[in-house]
Structures are given as C-alpha cells and as structure tokens.
Amino acid sequence: MGMTRLKVGIVGKRGAAAIAGFRAVPGVEVVAMCDAHRPTAEAEAQAHGIGATFTEMSAMLPHVDAVVIGTPMQLHVSQAIEALDAKKHVLSEVTAAVSFEECDALLATVRRSGQRYMMSENYCYFPENLAVREMVREGLFGEPYFGEGEYIHDVRFLHFNTDGSPTWRAKWQVGINGNTYCTHELGPVMQWFSAYDPEDRPATVTCLGTGVRTDPRHPHEDSTITLVKTVKGRLIKLRLDMMSNTPGMTFYSLQGIHGTFESGRGGSVGSRIWLGENKSVSWNDEPRKWEPFAPYLDRHLPTDYAKYRSAAGGSGHMGGDFHCSRIFAESILADREPDIDVVTSLRWTAVGLASQQSIAQGGVPVAVPSYD
C-alpha cells in the first residue's frame, strides 16, 4: 500500500540538490538536514527552510520516512543499510557502492527490508537523454547497438583540502585506477538500450588507460576507456577523466539501425541527429546530412517531464537533480519501483568495479554480476 505523506531527511550537503524535486510532489516534506559538519547542516537548513538539523544520521532516522544519502561515496552503503534496517526508504548519490561486497550487502538489505531504494543517477534525466530514450521507445532509431558516454571534468581542485590534506575523492575516486565514477557515463546509454530491450544488461567489461599524466600524486590514469559488452551483444564505450587539462564535460552518442544521435560536448549546443532508411549509399547519392537535435527535443521530451520543464530547469544538472527526487518520491507514494531500482543501480555501479579489476590485469574482460 502506498503512503499519502512522506517525511524526508537529507544526509550530506550534496543531498540538498534533491529538495526542489521533493517539493514538487504533494504530500512530501523535507523535515531534516544532517551533516557531520554542524555549521554546514545549519547553513543548508536555513538556506532551504528546513526545521531540524542533525550531525548524525542515526539521530535523524526516527523523524523521517526516507533519507537522501549525499555523503562521500565510501559511506553510501553503510548509511543505506542503517536507514533500510530502520525501515526508511533510500535515495542514494552515485555510485551506489565502492566494492562488490558492498553491492551484495546492499541488495540483501533492500530485499530484507522491503523498503524502496533508488540511485540518484541524475544524468539520465538530462532533457536530451530523456528525449532520446523516448525516441528509442517509439522505434525511431530501430535497434540500438552502440553507445558512448563520457564524463570529462577536471576536479583536481577537489582532491586536496586547503591545508594540503587529501579529501575522500583522493582516495576513492583517484586513489584507485580504472573507472571509479562510471554511472554518469553509463546510465543514460544503458537506459536507452533498456528502453528497446528491458532484458539487456552489462555482461563484461574491459578497461585500459592513458597512463598517469597530469598529476603523478595519484595512481589513477588520467583518461580511461571502458568497453562494456551487454548480454545481448551490444557495445558501449565509456570515457572517464577527472584530471586532464581540458574544458570538456559530458558527451553521449547512440547508434541504431535507423539513425545516430550525438550530443554536444558539455551541453546541448551542437547536438545532432541523423535518421534514415537502412540502405547502402554510394558516393554519387545524396550524402547523409546531420540535423540539429533541438526540434527533436521539443517534440519527443515526454509530457510527464515537459510539464516540469521550467520548475526543473532551474535546478542542478539540467533538471536531473529535480527529477531524481521527484521520481523517487512519486514511486514511494504510488508503491512502485523507481526507474533506477536497486538491481539497476548495482548493475551500473558494478561496471566501474569490474573496470578496476580489468585495468589491473592489462584490460582482461571481467564479468559483471546480474544481481537477479
């Protein structure tokens, strides 16, 4: 049975990005803000008009029905398990877990608890990525069989505190080699493949890197390429780079039998599409021509997202933050699984964990568990 009201508590200041989406859902109230750093908890609570502040999640849990976990990656699973065991629903920041053991423990706890779990993979809800998903569902690309996702973001400034001590990112993102932050790259593409074929999922992963280049203090190779082979034989190419000296950001592409989508680099400027018949074109035929994607975005953004376009547009990550919390809350109130349920979250997260094993062995293929 669904609930009619939902009281939410936020853990870790990044979780505040979820507030606007919660406030768009009738019956949902953000009642508590928790951050281990008290001045941060108080400042966030004040900025967002939240009544109660905490510095420990355990003290907050009795006051809420659901938590948003916006703390560093290595805390996600232990905090999710504590909340689930206390019969709270969980919306977790990415990635879901930092080891295969944690993946297994999280899955077992979600199943045992009967509570809802969603990973907040906000890049899936970029308007363009949603419109492409809809076009896949409508069959406009035919069968999709190749996709690319890139997350290129120079966050070297986040690897050390002002006193020179390392932050959690120095250990958990660039203190490990391989794809330590894979879901922004993978989620949107896997979401497109699943829209065509719900049975598809990552099967094996192989990963190679460029070598350590711009910051030799970390063992993490600047750029890694992770190839994901799916159980249905499709291929995805991921590039992660959190250090290179470049203005780059995100990039996505999709190839289907009837067309191609390519996003702009770091936004929708330059996004383009080609759709057409599956036939061989000789040199003398009319060459294939790209079209700008913007008119397709207007036509194919699903109505349940389009109606929130102005409300979501003002929130972070092109509205992605807004939709994650909105969808999570709506799924709890309607007593149904959220889009990015625990199995999906773990399959995506495990691609990165498998890449770390692959790169350590020179790029050998490593299997991704199904979490069925």
**Binding site residues, ligand NAD, CB under 6 A:** 11-14, 34-37, 40, 57, 70-73, 75, 93-94, 122, 168, 317
Cβ proximity to ligand NAD: between 13 and 88 the closer is: 13
Cβ proximity to ligand NAD: between 97 and 273 the closer is: 97
Nearest approach in angstroms of CB 207 to ligand NAD is 19
At 93, which amino acid appears? E
CA distance 87 to 42: 26
Cβ-based neighbours of 110, under 8 Å, separated by 6 or more? 84, 117, 342
Cβ proximity to ligand NAD: between 153 and 300 the closer is: 153
Q: At what angle do helices 183-196 and 342-360 cross, to 10 degrees?
A: 120
Q: Phi, psi at residue 266, to the nearest 5°? A: 80, 30
Nearest approach in angstroms of CB 273 to ligand NAD is 25
CA distance 47 to 362: 48
Nearest approach in angstroms of CB 221 to ligand NAD is 19
Cβ proximity to ligand NAD: between 118 and 273 the closer is: 118
Distance of CA 312 to the CA centre of its chain: 17
CA distance 367 to 28: 40
Between the alpha carbon of residue 287 and those of residues 249, 278, 280, 290, 295, the distances in Å are: 30, 14, 11, 10, 21
Indicate the residue whose CB is closest to ligand NAD.
14
Q: Where is 342: in which H helix or E strand?
A: helix 342-360
Q: Which residues pair with 32 in a beta bridge?
A: 9, 52
CA distance 256 to 189: 12
Per DSSP, the residues of 139-172 read: TTT-SEEEEEEEEE---GGGSB-TTS-B-HHHHH
Cβ proximity to ligand NAD: between 34 and 135 the closer is: 34
Cβ proximity to ligand NAD: between 70 and 178 the closer is: 70
Nearest approach in angstroms of CB 78 to ligand NAD is 9
Nearest approach in angstroms of CB 182 to ligand NAD is 11
Nearest approach in angstroms of CB 83 to ligand NAD is 12
Cβ proximity to ligand NAD: between 36 and 333 the closer is: 36
Nearest approach in angstroms of CB 4 to ligand NAD is 29
CA distance 237 to 235: 7
Cβ proximity to ligand NAD: between 161 and 278 the closer is: 161
Nearest approach in angstroms of CB 26 to ligand NAD is 25
Nearest approach in angstroms of CB 140 to ligand NAD is 28
DSSP state of 253: E
CA distance 58 to 32: 12
Q: Tokens representing 124? A: 């899936």
Cβ proximity to ligand NAD: between 37 and 299 the closer is: 37
Q: Tokens representing 108? A: 């077992």
- Three-class SS state of 263: strand
